[in-house]
Amino acid sequence: MFSGSFILQIVSETSESKYLGLFNKARQKNETVAGVILLICKEALQHHGISLSMEGVVNLQLSSKSVGVFEAFYNSVKPIQLISSNIEVAKAGKIPGGKTEIPFEFPLHTKGNKVLYETYHGVFVNIQYSLRCDMKRSLLAKDLSRSCEFIVHCQPQKSKVIPTPVNFTITPDTLQSREKNSLPKFLIRGHLDATNCVISLPLTGEVVVENSDVPIKSIELQLVRVETCGCAEGYARDATEIQNIQIAEGDVCHGLAIPIYMIFPRLFTCPTLETTNFKVEFEVNVVVVLHDDHLITENFPLKLCRL
Amino acid sequence: ESMQLCSALCVRQCFINNSRTNKLSISFATRRSRGRNYDAELQRCGLEAALVDFGDYHPLKPIMVTDTKTRRGTRKGSTSSSSSSSSSAPPDPLSSMLDGTDPLSMFAAASASETPDLGRRKREKEEEAVGPDFEPWSLKRGEILARFTTTEKLSINLFMGSDRGKATSQGSAVSEKVRTRLEELDDLEEGSQRELLNLSQQDYANRIEELNQSLKEAWSSDQKVKALKIVIQCSKLLSDTSVIQFYPSKFVLITDILDTFGRLVYDRIWTMCSDPRPLPDNFTVEDVNDTAKETCLNWFYKIASIRELLPRLYVEAAILKCNRFLNKSAIQETLPRLTAMIRGIGDPLVAAYARAYLCRVGMEVAPHLKDSLNRNFFDLLGTFRQISSENVRAQLVLQMVEMPEYLTLYSPAISWILQCIAYRAPESLLTEMMERCKKLGNNALLLNSVMRAFRPEFVAARATDFIGMIKDCDEAGFPKHLLFGSLGRSLASADPPESERLTILNEAWKVITKVRSPQDYINCAEIWVEFTCRHFTKREVNTILADIIKHMTPDRAFEDAYPQLQTVIPVQSVELHFQFLLFSVLQERFLPFLDMFQKDSVRVEVCKSIMEVFIKHQVELTRDPVILNAMLHICKTMHDSVNALTLEDEKRSLALLIIGFIRMVSFGRDFEQQLSFCVEARATFCNLEPVLVQLIHTVNQLAMETRRVMRGNHSRKTAAFVRACAAYSFITIPSLSSIFSRLSLYLLSGQVALANQCLSQADAFLKAAVSILPEVPRSISVEGKLRSSESFLLDFINSFLATLLVIPDHPEHGVLYLVRGLLNMVQDYTWEDNSDAKVRVYISALPLLAAMSQETYLYSIPKVDSNETLYGGDPKFLSEINKLCETLIGQILDHLKTLGRDESTRRQGALAFSLFGVLLAHSDLRNNKLSQLAVNLWNLSHKHGYCETRTSVRTLEFIKHQTQQPDMAHLSDMVQRLTLQSRT
């Protein structure tokens, strides 16, 4: 019988952090994931082979509100496998007691003509890559396994991004609201430095409250993900908030440019993605909250890319 | 003075060498004591004057330097021309060692010519360091906490975690107190909400401190997320401007937590990269390992996703320093971004303080990045109109806070920002700032901060401009007297151009005098008094004091303004040393001014500070009736404050001050006036003994001064005067309670009286001294401890005996009346048990008696006939002395016997040895009985081996040496008989 402690651990080459140092590694096709399998046991351990498997999957999920309508398309939301491979690390044998390190290197070979998407943690779309180490053991003992996520960053989609500044003006007249006539007067101007953004750089711009009859309570930047699942027959499109960043609090000084500045959060954003089965897009809303809790929202679709 | 008589005992030690005169052989039969020729003895034992050629060298002689350059670098910021050193003044040896340039400036000059690269690096370093002349935040901190207080109830509202479960308190039945307590039970758990209501200011501070502690705890227990949450919640509190008066203090408290957090994060990342060896202080990005960078980046990502603006801003500012790990230019890029971010804060007060915090962090981390400081200030100017916005007004009405009070809340923040900007800033920048303020319509609040933050020299040089600006600014909200107060503060430490001074004062005072509220008025006036004292004459100062009195008298307004009024006085007094005229002018103003201090304790404090300054700065003696009158008044006030409850220390310090004053008073040759001053002073200060003692000393000194002026020959008038002095002392001494001061004053006054030929007075003094001897207690308290009075008493009796030598006998009393009287008192005095004191007195009386039997006394008082002349060596007188000596020696020997019986052989030996010494020095040892006695005493003292061999050996050597002298051959016989005790 097996007794004593046993630790199986996969240590990536680079760091302790969850965001493994693999960001820049998946650029070429033959990029590898490297690391160490760490086995710690008190006594010598018998096993029937150790294997390492890599998997990359896109999980699609329909939002609850859509489920009823689109149940028909159930097939289209089954997980899409991007990569899957398996290597044997050690043949059946014995591991001596103590600490054993088994280094490994795993090539990132895609399945057929599939493309590797960037890691993305969303609500309805999840793109995840993981490594799993399995140790087979005799019938009496349970098999052991550990897994670990690694992050994939794609090669740049474009070599250069030409910023496309966007100016905007918000007045009661520009709003598409039924009650726009009942709204107090205000004039808010501003610009975004670019809507095609580099994901590693912040979103920047300025907003100026030129005048407002009602005091302003808050100005916020709402980063929204728009996830679309489906196929040609039909699709489900859901917009959810990623984060909300307040850039102004209280009745700000009129005529003074307030900076728009937002860092794209890691994991929760990825370069804008469009495939046959799903789409991941991002938008930003400039939200002005008036003192009487009126919300004024100006929406800007973003195009994220990686340089 | 001439009254410094050495004691009879000393005579023995001084005149080692002996000689005889032929006169002695005549009186040999009747005299037991050795005849002395004091002059010859003195001459022989004097050192031979050796002539030493010192040459030109003298260590204290200044090194002569022919070419001296004037010192470089005038006093910092002084506008007055530096005084060039005059050639007649001796040059400072230290500076003259170097040929003009000091080593530091030489190095500076050298480094300037070094390779440009090195020079640049050096300059960079200089830029980075903030010098000691930058007033640190820690100083401001306490000031702000003390200044911005409130009695309103405060509340802390903390959400740990999500904002979802918001539970508002809507008329809950549970009492507030219970609720608070219940909420205390929940810890800072995830999602829990804590709302603490009804906190007093102190409670609030304590809570914040608790949070600070829990932050540290969370950090040390590796709950980094919790730590971050605490910090976020705390910085969120800064957006709450309810109880607005407390906001500056709140800012101070909360930024403390942020500082802690910033330090913790920085230190953690720092330790992460100090793995093989610690990072150097000036590390670069390359020295930082990837793990540390990753962690650091994580913090910034985490903070960038904080939802609310204010916490995001504050927390990022708190860890600004961590940017050093990531990127060389990161700080440079972050500061402007954060500066711009503050624009999003609507509330002007919150924004101003956020800017202050950013400037503070910026100054700490990257003091060379001036641009963002300036940017901050310009943004502040840009948003200034917010202060008068509707929102703010509504808030003030709600909180019932007046506009002026609200505006003062800004001053710490704005002052701090300006201080950062003004620090080592070029003149041009300051001028630009001033212009910008002007453009903003001379906003009073800004102007005030500018005047406070900029260098006083800068402000002083443009004082007229500033006055113009102050006049032009709209008074809405910010009272002008505060502006003039700030201006006055600058002018107090830097001088404006001379030609403008009077105009400045006039303009300022025009405004100040119109201030209605006494409190505001005095706050401002207080500042300007110093300026006035410094630059103007009595007329102006007088006018200002008159104005202050006029303002402060109605409705007893002065009662609330004691601290300010109190500072007015030392301020003007500090100037006394070159403006002493004040006192002479203030005759009609000064005392009324003092009268405003009607609370006793305050008044006494004021009086004390005046006296201190007076004593410190009054160099010359004075007889000016105005000063005397004023000072007497002040001293009387101090004296009258003494009562039964006054502490000893307090009494002592008061007495010292009054004594200091008395010593300053001198009427020159007008001795009678001086005496009557002393009489008056005695009446005024009767409760303070040290003062009375001083008065007696003063009067004694007066008598001696009279004697000096008359060269010892008193006219009838002066004789009467010195007798009056003696009378003064005689009636003052008994009122003292300390027995030893009485004794020593009696003795001293007796000596003075004797020196002034007032024989009966001297007699009376000495008699009085003798008569109070029995009252001397056995123990007295010295510095709070009980100590035996014996040694003091012995000292006194010895010096008393020395005086007795020159006191002529009273014709109506018997021979040696006073000596006998003293010895009788000594006999009757209840000495301590087991004490040899009485016998010691007897032993020391013997040299006196020996000295008295001389033909010519060792010393005498000019124009006073001592016993030597009175009796002229009368055999009867000598036999009286001999009888007395015999009695004394008999008593001493009896005592020695008693000691032998009591087995106190050590004491016996010591006494015997000292008697032996006396006999050796003063008695005529040719007398067989005496020499036998001496030998016996020697043997007795050596009998028990307590004698110090070294002393014995030296004594023997001395005697042998004596035998070389003429007429001392007889001693050689005795030496044969003195044996040294051999210790085997």
- The structural domain count of chain A equals 2
Q: Which of A152, A183, A208 is the last residue of a domain?
A: A152
**A135-167 pLDDT tens trace:** 888 877 778 888 888 888 776 665 677 888 899
Contact B305 A253 (CB under 8 A): no
Judge residue B336's burial from the number of C-beta atoms within 10 Å of its C-beta, 0-12 exposed, 13-18 middle, 19 or more buried. Answer: middle
Chain A residue numbers with beta carbons less than 8 Å from the beta carbon of B307 are: 243-246
B429 vs B266: CA distance, rounded Å: 34
A286 shares a domain with A198: yes
Neighbour count for residue A199 (Cβ, 10 Å): 20
Does some domain include residue A261?
yes
Chain A residue numbers with beta carbons less than 8 Å from the beta carbon of B310 are: 249
**B32-89 pLDDT tens trace:** 677 777 777 777 766 555 545 555 555 555 444 434 344 444 344 333 333 333 334 4
Contact A246 B307 (CB under 8 A): yes
At B814, is the pLDDT very low, low, confident or very high (cuts 50, 70, 90)? confident
- Of residues B609 and B803, the one with the higher pLDDT is B803
A252 Cβ under 8 Å from any chain B Cβ: yes
Count of CB pairs separated by less than 8 Å, A with B = 87
A297 shares a domain with A189: yes
A64 shares a domain with A111: yes
A143 shares a domain with A173: no
A231 Cβ under 8 Å from any chain B Cβ: no
A245 Cβ under 8 Å from any chain B Cβ: yes
Contact B391 A14 (CB under 8 A): no
Does some domain include residue A158?
no
Chain B residue numbers with beta carbons less than 8 Å from the beta carbon of A259 are: 337, 340-341, 343-344
A51 Cβ under 8 Å from any chain B Cβ: no
Q: Is the pTM of this model over 0.80?
A: no
Does some domain include residue A157?
no
**B482-494 pLDDT tens trace:** 788 888 888 877 7
Residue B423 scores a pLDDT above 90: no
Which of B305, B346, B383 minimises the CB distance to A243? B305
What SS3 class is residue A210? Answer: strand
Which pLDDT belongs to residue B812?
82
B82 vs B84: CA distance, rounded Å: 6
A211 Cβ under 8 Å from any chain B Cβ: no
Which of A259, A173, A250, A169 lies closest to A216, judged by CA? Answer: A250
Q: Domain residues for A189?
A: 164-305
Chain A residue numbers with beta carbons less than 8 Å from the beta carbon of B346 are: 215-216, 248-253
Q: Which of A208, A213, A246 to mutate to test the interface with B (most CBs of B within 10 A)?
A: A246
Residue B435 scores a pLDDT above 60: yes
Give me the sheet containing A98-107, strands edge to edge. A6-12, A32-41, A98-107
A235 shares a domain with A182: yes
Query: Average pLDDT over chain B, rounded to whole?
Result: 76
Q: Which of B235, B315, B343 to mutate to test the interface with A (most CBs of A within 10 A)?
A: B343
A101 shares a domain with A178: no
Residue of A nearest to B241 (CA): A250
Which pLDDT belongs to residue A300?
92
Distances (CA, A) of A293 to A214, A217, A248, B85, B240: 10, 8, 15, 75, 19
B241 Cβ under 8 Å from any chain A Cβ: no
Residue B471 scores a pLDDT above 60: yes
Which pLDDT belongs to residue B575?
46
Give the mean pLDDT of B497-511: 81
Which pLDDT belongs to residue A152?
80
Residue of A nearest to B344 (CA): A248
**B610-647 pLDDT tens trace:** 777 777 766 778 787 777 887 888 888 888 888 888 88
A178 shares a domain with A126: no
Q: Which of A152, A186, A215 is the last residue of a domain?
A: A152
Q: For the CA atoms of B126, B132, B138, B143, what is the dihedral angle to 10 degrees?
A: -130
- The whole-angstrom distance between B309's CA and the closest CA on chain A is 5
**B554-592 pLDDT tens trace:** 666 666 666 666 655 544 444 443 344 445 444 445 566
Distances (CA, A) of B349 to B454, B705, B709, B841, B957: 22, 73, 77, 84, 93
ipTM for the predicted complex: 0.85
Give the mean pLDDT of B782-808: 88
Cβ-defined contacts of A290-298 (< 8 Å, 24+): A290/A184, A290/A186, A290/A212, A290/A214, A290/A215, A290/A216, A290/A217, A291/A214, A291/A215, A291/A216, A291/A217, A291/A251, A292/A214, A293/A217, A294/A183, A294/A214, A296/A170, A296/A175, A296/A186, A296/A188, A297/A222, A298/A168, A298/A170
- The whole-angstrom distance between A200's CA and the closest CA on chain B is 11
A262 shares a domain with A145: no
* CA dihedral (B447, B452, B458, B462) positive or negative: positive
Cβ-contact B803, B5 below 8 angstroms: yes
Residue B432 scores a pLDDT above 70: yes
Q: Which of A100, A117, A152 is the last residue of a domain?
A: A152
A19 shares a domain with A148: yes
A174 shares a domain with A126: no
Contact A249 B301 (CB under 8 A): no
Does some domain include residue A263?
yes
Residue of A nearest to B386 (CA): A253
Which of A279, A271, A263, A261 lies closest to A303, judged by CA? Answer: A271
Which pLDDT belongs to residue B4?
37
Cβ-defined contacts of B653-658 (< 8 Å, 24+): B653/B608, B654/B608, B654/B688, B655/B688, B655/B689, B655/B690, B655/B691, B656/B690, B657/B608, B657/B611, B657/B612, B657/B615, B658/B611, B658/B685, B658/B688, B658/B691
Which pLDDT belongs to residue B184?
43
Contact A247 B309 (CB under 8 A): yes
**B887-911 pLDDT tens trace:** 999 999 999 888 888 777 888 888 8
A209 shares a domain with A112: no
Q: Which two tokens stand for residue B373?
A: 């400081």
Residue B733 scores a pLDDT above 90: yes
CATH number, domain containing residue A236: 2.60.40.640
Does some domain include residue A265?
yes
- Of residues B969 and B344, the one with the higher pLDDT is B344
A169 shares a domain with A147: no
